[in-house]
Amino acid sequence: EFEVVDVFNPEDKYNFIFGTSHFIKTVEDVYETLVQSGTAIKFGVAFCEASGPRLVRLEGNDDELIDIARKNALAVGCGHTFFIFLNNAFPLNVLNQLKMVPEVTSIHCATQNPTKIVVSKVGDGRGFVSVIDGLKPLGVEDESTKADRVKFLRTIGYKRGC
């Protein structure tokens, strides 16, 4: 049986990362990785255990983001998955560091878009099948929209030059 779970993200206001990991110390190692990435970053982490007490483990430095991560972890409910909700940082600021955390096996989504996660339910277990990130394209970039992209990246400081 399949279920489609809408990721809860109030007003699509936060960037988040959805991934898989394999060990109980994930939340502590992810916490240390994120807190070292910059002093302004705020985040909440929720990790779903797949065995033992099968708890959702929580860490972070912002109560609202921890609560949003918790709600999503419980809604998706797939063992060994995690959510990280971010403020004052973008996923690209932390993705490479997260990929180096020994327990992290995969990053499946890093976005602020409306997102759905397709979950398969088999007996007492649940596994995620796919991530639907945002909406389908409406067309192909032309010179005008390319110029808009180039300008935007410079406006937000991710590229230099004029």
d(CA 127, CA 78): 5
In the predicted model, what is the mean pLDDT of residues 11-33? 94
Residue 48: burial class (beta carbons within 10 Å; 0-12, 13-18, 19+): buried
Task: Say what the pLDDT of residue 24 is.
Answer: 86
Task: Say what the pLDDT of residue 39 is.
Answer: 82
92-135 tens-digit pLDDT: 999 999 999 999 999 999 999 999 999 999 999 999 999 999 99
Whether 45 and 24 have beta carbons less than 8 Å apart is answered as no
d(CA 85, CA 51): 24
66-98 tens-digit pLDDT: 999 999 999 999 999 999 999 999 999 999 999
38-64 tens-digit pLDDT: 889 999 999 999 999 999 999 999 999
In the predicted model, what is the mean pLDDT of residues 26-43? 93
Task: Say what the pLDDT of residue 17 is.
Answer: 98
